[in-house]
């Protein structure tokens, strides 16, 4: 199972959009996928359509070691499962910081999980014990990044956080690529801001995936719990097709 995190240490950069739509795309194309929601906002949990009752186990109990990860798998569809989050997840910060192995906790808890081709990890928007344990558990990161000055700044901070943990030899994570998010076009032309930002992203990392364009259709696919293809926009799945090809090449 290849573990890939959707990482960006800022809000609204497309982490959840990437996680949910890539998970559905891969499952639709015959792969078995486990999504882990590592954000207390629980947006991936909501958009994958899993309702959590008060006493239901979530990632919080898995990280604390109260239950095994394999006993916390919720079926979304035939090939797609979820380890969900709820707003209690923030409480894990103290637990993780009290352990010397905090950054390795998620990796450790996932050790006995098998039967999935890919594990996609949605992550929180700020630097925290949770983001560190996500980086510690991941084989690869995809870095969604809004095509704006704010997005570029967040990309730089995210890469710094990854490098710090790599230098500490806590993780072997490799960056798979940057995914430009909310790429704005007017007619047949990309806006100057998007153009500049995407060019700047290409200076930071060789691999820049085809962008997610500014479009209501992505929001619609996520909130209607469906795919872009089912909405009649298979062309908008191109970024996910390219990411899937890249993943195929490393598996
Ligand atoms: P957070 O850090 O809060 O978890 P995030 O990085 O997970 O945010 P998303 O929730 O995926 O980011 O997206 C941010 C916002 O952009 C959401 O309100 C979403 O509906 C919207 N959005 C998603 N795709 C597009 C798109 N293609 N064009 C414009 N807006 C979009
Ligand atoms: Mg999110």
**Tens of pLDDT along 87-121?**
999 999 999 998 888 999 999 999 999 999 999 99
- Residue 247's CB is within 10 A of a number of other CB atoms, namely 19
Q: Take residue 90 and report the two structure tokens written for it.
A: 């923030």
Distance 11 CA to ligand 1 centre (A): 9
- CB < 8 Å & 24+ apart, contacts of 66-69: 68/109, 68/112, 69/109, 69/110, 69/112, 69/113
Task: Render 14-33 in DSSP notation, one character per residue.
Answer: SHHHHHHHHHHHHHHTT--E
Strands 185-186 and 189-190: antiparallel
- Global confidence as pTM: 0.97
Residues within 5 Å of ion ligand 2, judged at the Cβ atom? 15-16, 43
- Report pLDDT digits (tens) over 187-230: 999 999 999 999 999 999 999 999 999 999 999 999 999 999 99
Closest atom of ligand 1 to 122 CA is: 7
Calpha distance 92→215 (Å, rounded): 35
As given in the structure block, the two tokens for residue 239 are: 């970024």
Q: Are strands 74-77 and 80-83 parallel, antiparallel or unpaired?
A: antiparallel
**Cα separation, 68 vs 109, whole angstroms:** 7
> Phi then psi for 4, rounded to 5 degrees?
-125, 125
**How much is the average pLDDT of 167-172?**
93
Percent of the chain at pLDDT above 90?
97
Q: Residue 4 has which token pair?
A: 């890939």
Question: Distance, CA 114 to ligand 1 centroid (Å)?
Answer: 30
- Distance, CA of 130 to CA of 176 (rounded, Å): 21
**Mean of the pLDDT values across residues 167-184?**
96
Q: Whose CA is nearest to atom 20 of ligand 1?
A: 219
Ligand 1 contacts (CB < 6 A) are 8, 11-17, 39, 41, 43, 125, 182, 212-215, 218-219
Distance CA(19)–CA(41), nearest Å, equals 14
**Rounded to the nearest whole angstrom, what is the distance from the C-alpha of residue 18 to the centroid of ligand 2?**
9
């Amino acid at each position: 199972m290849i573990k890939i995190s959707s990482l960006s240490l800022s809000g609204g950069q497309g982490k959840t959009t990437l996680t949910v739509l890539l998970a559905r795309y891969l499952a639709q194309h015959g792969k078995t996928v486990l999504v882990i929601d590592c954000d207390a906002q629980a947006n991936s949990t909501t958009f994958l359509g899993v309702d959590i009752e008060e006493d239901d186990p979530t990632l919080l109990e898995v990280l604390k070691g109260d239950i095994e990860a394999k006993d916390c798998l919720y079926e979304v569809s035939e090939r797609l499962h979820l380890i969900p989050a709820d707003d209690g997840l923030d409480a894990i910060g103290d637990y993780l910081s009290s352990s010397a192995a905090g950054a390795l906790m998620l990796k450790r808890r996932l050790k006995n999980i098998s039967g999935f081709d890919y594990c996609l990890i949605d992550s929180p928007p700020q630097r925290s014990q949770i983001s560190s344990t996500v980086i510690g558990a991941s084989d690869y990161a995809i870095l969604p990044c809004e095509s704006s000055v704010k997005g570029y700044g967040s990309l730089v901070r995210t890469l710094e956080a990854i490098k710090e943990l790599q230098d500490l030899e806590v993780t072997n994570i490799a960056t798979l690529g940057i995914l430009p998010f909310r790429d704005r076009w007017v007619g047949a032309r990309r806006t100057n801001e998007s153009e500049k930002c995407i060019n700047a992203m290409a200076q930071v990392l060789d691999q820049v995936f085809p962008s997610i364009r500014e479009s209501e259709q992505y929001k619609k696919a996520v909130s209607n719990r469906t795919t872009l293809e089912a909405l009649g926009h298979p062309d908008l799945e191109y970024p996910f097709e390219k990411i899937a090809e890249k993943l195929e090449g490393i598996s």
